[in-house]
A = this chain, B = another copy of it.
Amino acid sequence: MIMRLPEGVEWALHCSWLLAQARHGDALTARRLAEFYGLPEAYLAKLLKALVRAGLLSATSGPRGGFRLARPPGAITVADVVEAVEGPGALFRCTEIRQRGPVPLTGVASRKPCGIAEVMHRAERAWRKELAATTIADLVETSGVGAVTRVNSWLSALSSGAHEG
């Protein structure tokens, strides 16, 4: 019964972090992003499209096309990315089992929100609030030097390749 966030959450956050470092507004293709993280390209492409639909990425076609952040990295929060991947629904879904069975809760009592659902939703608001407190720009800012260096060298090599092509 163990529940985990879909792995797409991790992928989408890392790809957003990488796109935030692309220089001169360069686009990166799904193939390049998949290559960088060793991810399955087809599945990643679907995920990137979900981020486009959510207004976090923009997509362009053509030889220099690909994906870019649709907003400055300081205007995209971790919560935005998580919600784009897993949808706007709540983690906890109340199915109102208190209204079932031989002595169901009815009338006024059933219109009062269920205390159990209230606790679960309050916790979820605390979770989202934390996720909303960090932007993609913050993630780049707090990356170690090693991480940023390897990205820059890889992006530079890509650009050189593009110029040759």
Q: How large is the interface on A (under 10, 10 to 19, 20 to 34, 35 or more residues)?
A: 35 or more
Q: Are B116 and A17 closer than 8 Å at their CB atoms?
A: yes
Residues 144-165 of chain A: 1 if any B CB is under 8 Å from the residue's CB, otherwise 0? 1111001101100000000000
A94-B127 contact in complex given A3-B3, A100-B37, C-beta closer than 8 Å: no
Cα-based distance from A151 to B10 in the complex (angstroms): 44
Query: Which of B93, B116, B154 has a CB less than 8 Å from the CB of A13?
Result: B116
Q: Are A14 and B97 closer than 8 Å at their CB atoms?
A: yes
Q: Are A1 and B10 closer than 8 Å at their CB atoms?
A: no
A-B contact pairs, 26 of them (CB 8 A): A1-B86, A2-B89, A3-B4, A3-B5, A3-B6, A3-B86, A4-B90, A5-B93, A7-B95, A9-B120, A10-B93, A10-B97, A11-B97, A17-B116, A36-B101, A37-B98, A39-B100, A78-B116, A103-B150, A103-B153, A105-B146, A105-B150, A119-B131, A123-B127, A123-B128, A126-B126
